[in-house]
C-alpha cells in the first residue's frame, strides 16, 4: 500500500514536471535546479551569479525554504525577480509547487530561471521539477565523506560546485578525493571548485551557464 502511494505521488510529480518543462521549452527558458545541504552557499552563489549575469541575461529565481522570505529578499535586493515557496515542513520542492509559481513569471521575458531547492542532501534529488539541469553544491566544511554517503544526490547531477575553497587551508578536505568519489558514482558530472566569497572559480561557472544557455535556445 505504501509503495502504491509513493508511485502515485511520483507519477503526479512527473506530470507536473512535464507541464513545467513544456512551459520552459516553449519560452526557451534555461532552468537550473540548485541543491545542497543547508548552508553550503546556494544563495550566496546565486547572489554573485545574479550580479555577474546582469545586463547579459534576464535572470529570475524561485527560492525554496520551509519558512520565511529571507532568501527571496536577498535576491530581490539585487533587483532580480524572486518568488519564495515555503514548504511548511516539507524537505524538498516538488514540480507542483513550481508549477503553482509560474503564473507569477513572464517566462517570455526571462532567459534563466534558477530554482534554489530546500537545503537537504536527500529529498530534493528524487523530484524532477522540469529543469534542464540539476546542479549540486557541496562545500568544503561539510567534509569529504558526503559524496559517498549521499549517492542519490550526486549520481543525478550534471555539475557539482565545490564551494568555499577559500577554507581549504584551514580544513581537512581533499579536492582530488572528492573528484574520484564523484567519478565512481557519476562519470558524467563535472566538479568545479570555487568560492562564492572570493570569486575564485566563478568565471568557469559562468562559462558553464553560457554553454547551457546556448544549448537551451538551440534545442
Ligand atoms: N568562507 C566562505 N563562506 C561562504 C561561501 N559561500 C557562502 N558562504 C557563507 O556560508 C553561509 C551560508 O550561505 P548561504 O548562501 O546562505 O547558504 P545556503 O543555505 O546554501 O543558501 C553564509 O554565512 C555565507 O556567507 C564561500 O565561498 N566561502
Ligand atoms: Mg539559501
Instruction: Read off the pLDDT of residues 38-92 as tens digits, 9 standing for 90 and up.
Output: 999 999 999 999 999 999 999 999 999 999 999 999 999 999 999 999 999 999 9
pLDDT of residue 219: 85
164 lines ligand 1 (CB under 6 A): yes
Number of domain units in the chain = 1
66 lines ligand 1 (CB under 6 A): no
C-alpha span between 132 and 143 (Å, rounded): 28
Which grid coordinates belong to 213? Answer: 544557455
Instruction: Read off the pLDDT of residues 164-188 as tens digits, 9 standing for 90 and up.
Output: 999 999 999 999 999 999 999 999 9
Q: Whose CA is nearest to atom 8 of ligand 1?
A: 41
pLDDT of residue 212: 98
Which CATH number goes with the domain that contains 153? 3.40.50.300
| CB burial of residue 31 (10 Å; 0-12, 13-18, 19+) | buried
- Write down the pTM of the prediction: 0.95
The whole domain housing 102 covers 2-218
Amino acid at each position: 500500500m505504501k509503495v502504491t502511494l509513493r508511485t502515485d505521488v511520483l507519477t503526479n510529480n512527473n506530470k507536473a514536471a512535464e507541464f513545467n518543462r513544456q512551459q520552459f521549452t516553449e519560452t526557451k527558458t534555461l532552468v537550473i535546479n540548485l541543491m545542497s545541504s543547508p548552508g553550503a552557499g546556494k544563495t550566496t552563489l546565486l547572489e554573485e551569479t545574479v550580479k555577474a549575469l546582469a545586463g547579459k541575461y534576464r535572470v529570475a529565481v524561485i527560492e525554496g525554504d520551509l519558512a520565511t522570505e529571507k532568501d527571496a529578499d536577498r535576491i530581490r535586493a539585487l533587483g532580480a525577480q524572486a518568488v519564495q515557496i515555503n514548504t511548511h515542513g516539507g524537505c524538498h520542492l516538488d514540480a507542483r509547487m513550481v508549477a503553482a509559481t509560474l503564473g507569477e513569471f513572464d517566462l517570455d521575458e526571462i532567459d534563466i530561471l534558477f530554482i534554489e531547492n530546500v537545503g537537504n542532501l536527500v529529498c530534493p534529488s528524487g523530484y524532477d521539477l522540469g529543469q534542464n539541469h540539476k546542479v549540486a553544491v557541496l562545500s568544503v566544511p561539510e567534509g569529504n565523506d558526503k559524496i559517498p554517503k549521499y549517492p542519490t544526490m550526486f549520481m543525478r547531477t550534471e555539475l557539482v560546485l565545490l564551494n568555499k575553497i577559500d577554507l581549504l587551508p584551514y580544513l581537512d578536505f581533499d579536492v582530488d578525493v572528492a573528484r574520484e568519489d564523484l567519478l565512481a558514482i557519476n562519470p558524467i558530472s563535472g566538479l568545479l571548485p570555487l568560492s562564492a566569497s572570493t570569486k575564485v572559480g566563478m568565471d568557469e561557472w559562468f562559462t558553464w551557464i553560457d554553454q547551457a544557455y546556448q544549448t537551451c535556445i538551440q534545442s
